[in-house]
Copies of this chain bind each other. A is one copy, B any other.
Amino acid sequence: MLHASVRALKYFAAVGICATIAVYALDVTKSAAQSANKVQLQARSDASPIYGITIPAGYRDWRLISVKQLTGVKGKQLRAQLGNDIAIAAFREGKLPFPDGTIIAALHWNEASSDTDNKVLADGFPGAGLESSFAGSAVNVQFMVKDSKKYAATGGWGFADFTNGKPGDEALHKTCFPCHVPAKDHDYVFTHYAPTP
């Protein structure tokens, strides 16, 4: 999900723009057919372009794979990668390629800090130069979904990027797979399982 991280920074300024660009509603509802069509289009507007992936229900409850930080000229992010049951089992067993049904979620937050927290650190541990940061406001969430047949053209993976619950545009999603190619030896997944302390 490295590309996702990157993209999140690159698109800091674009948060909310995708939602504006996306076609979310048809105002014309003159017939039942049109009404049905509207529902269909609205449903599609919640899915990622190209891959047709919607936000998996309950992903915030999934188990932890690892944590990351991304730094850049535009800011810093703290991030967590969570996995559904199939993903967690595969990571723990070192199973490659990941089996169909694997879903990896990458949650990205702006890095935040607290003067109060840092004062506690400075007072408690003088000279240690300690500073703490934590997950602040949400930036976006991204998913990799394994379906070796459906997504055969992209290494068996479908990709999705959501900001405020709305998927990014097609141009954004076209960049996902090429960015993951360098991780081909790990089935296109940059993230590795964090050891249990």
Residues on A lying within 8 angstroms of B by beta carbon are 2-3, 5-6, 9-10, 60-64, 66-74, 78-80, 82, 107-109, 111, 116-117, 119-121, 124-125, 127-135, 137-141, 162-163, 175, 179, 182, 190-192, 194-197
- Closest residue of B by beta carbon distance from A82: B64
Whether A182 contacts B120 by the Cβ 8 Å rule is: yes
Q: Which of B125, B135, B191 contacts A134 (CB 8 A)?
A: B191
Whether A124 contacts B68 by the Cβ 8 Å rule is: no
Q: In angstroms, how far is the closest chain B Cβ from the Cβ of A1?
A: 10
Q: In angstroms, how far is the closest chain B Cβ from the Cβ of A141?
A: 4
**Quick one: given A67-B79, A67-B135, A120-B182, are A128 and B10 in contact (CB under 8 Å)?**
yes
Q: In angstroms, how far is the closest chain B Cβ from the Cβ of A72?
A: 4
Whether A68 contacts B133 by the Cβ 8 Å rule is: yes
**How many identical subunits does the complex contain?**
2
State in angstroms the CA–CA spacing of A10 and B130 once bound together: 10
State in angstroms the CA–CA spacing of A66 and B64 once bound together: 11
Q: Which of B70, B128, B179 contacts A9 (CB 8 A)?
A: B128
Whether A120 contacts B10 by the Cβ 8 Å rule is: no
Which residues does chain B contribute within 8 Å of A67, judged by CB atoms? 67, 78-80, 109, 134-135
Whether A194 contacts B135 by the Cβ 8 Å rule is: yes
Q: Which of B6, B69, B182 contacts A78 (CB 8 A)?
A: B69
- Closest residue of B by beta carbon distance from A132: B70
Q: In angstroms, how far is the closest chain B Cβ from the Cβ of A180?
A: 9
